[in-house]
Amino acid sequence: MTLVPAGPKVALDAMPRTARAILRRILVHGEASRTELASTYELTLASLTRLTKPLVDEGLVAEGSARRTAHQGRPRLPLDVRAGDHLVVGVKLTGRDLFAVLTDLRATVLAERQVALTDTEPAAVVREIGAAVRGFGADPGALRGIGVSLGGHARDRATVVRGPFLGWEDVDLAPMLTRETGLPAVVDNDVVALTEALHWFGSARGRSSFAVVTIGAGIGYALVVHDRIVRSAAADLGGSATTSWTRVVRSSPARREVQPRRTCPRRRSPAPRPRSPARTWTPTRCCAVPRRATRRVSPS
């Protein structure tokens, strides 16, 4: 059985970038008047109305109750997300279990399920996710999509390039889920998903720069700078990375018995190795506190 959601008539990706930014601003920070939004994005009220009209038409945003201000004039009608009218399914995959939750647009958990994975083949896992989605019994017209997170490397939020805990390589998971459920689907690394959740709705809400470190089967980390997750080709997982405990132990300085070379930040050359058995290091003269400039004054 494939769910056929009503869904928005216009895909969010097809909307202007500013319109998506406005939706995110309201979703994360709460209701805001058109005047406030126009000031934030340096728009005229006419331009703002044009950009938000598709959001209103699709039922994603609605006008709230009138707010009185200290200034005279018409009361302001704030725009807010209709969070309860739209539902999404979030899924976390491990090597042994499937965890699924049904939430509204502000990540309020309405229902949850846990399923043991007896078969980790991609097709079998997709069927389990489809069964979990249908098991929530949600109105198909209110469901908007599925988000899946797992330990591994996801490309273009659609393909699992590497999923070591499930033994996956190059699995087009998002298209498979869409065929199974009829819902739009995205796939990402679990640490990235956690970081986004903390940034939008959790303890990091309102912070523009922060780091997340997780400790479990391995060590994971992610970095947010200027309100965006850092995505780098050098990072193992596109903005985050994980390191297994075996790798950590093997690379420990105490295990290797090889002392790392320290580099003088000013000379950019290796500094002398300390001879103390305690492995302490004294900075060279150029790294010490800068000497105060002096000038010789000849006697008059």
Of the three residues 23, 53, 81, the one that is the final residue of a domain is 81
Task: Tell me, yes or no, whether 214 and 184 share the same domain.
Answer: no
**201 & 183 share domain:** no
> Which two tokens mark 193?
């998903």
CA dihedral sign, ordered 173, 177, 183, 189: negative
**Among candidate residues 36, 56, 81, the one where a domain is terminated:** 81
The CATH number of the domain holding residue 149 is 3.30.420.40
Which of the two residues, 120 and 293, has the higher pLDDT score? 120
Reply yes or no on whether the pLDDT at 3 is more than 70.
Answer: no
| 84, pLDDT greater than 80 | yes
Which pLDDT does position 112 carry in this prediction? 97
**pLDDT at res. 192:** 92
> For position 254, what pLDDT does the model report?
43
∠ CA 221-224-229 to the nearest 5 degrees? 90
Say which residue the tokens 């707010």 belong to: 67
Mark whether 16 and 95 lie in a shared domain.
no
What is the pLDDT at residue 217? 74
Do residues 93 and 154 make contact, with C-beta atoms less than 8 angstroms apart?
no
Q: Is residue 159 included in any domain, yes or no?
A: yes
Q: How confident is the model at residue 188 (pLDDT cuts 50, 70, 90)?
A: very high
Domain match, 62 and 98 both: no
- Site of tokens 């988000």: 147
Segments forming the whole domain that contains residue 217:
197-250
Task: Give me the torsion for CA of 183, 188, 193, 199, rounded to 10°.
Answer: -90
What is the per-residue pLDDT across 19-68, written as a single tens digit (0 to 9) for each?
Answer: 999 999 998 888 899 999 999 999 999 999 999 998 998 889 998 766 65
**Paired residues of 116 in beta bridges:** 97
- Domain boundary among the residues 59, 81, 103 is at 81
Which letter does DSSP use for residue 63 in this model? E
Section 251-265 average pLDDT: 45
Q: What is the mean pLDDT of residues 269-280?
A: 51
Domain count, the chain: 3
pLDDT of residue 98: 97
Q: CA-CA distance, 73 to 68, in Å (whole number)?
A: 9
| β-pairing verdict for 168-171 and 185-189 | unpaired
The Cα 41–Cα 46 span in angstroms is: 13
The pLDDT confidence band at residue 195, using thresholds 50, 70 and 90, is very high
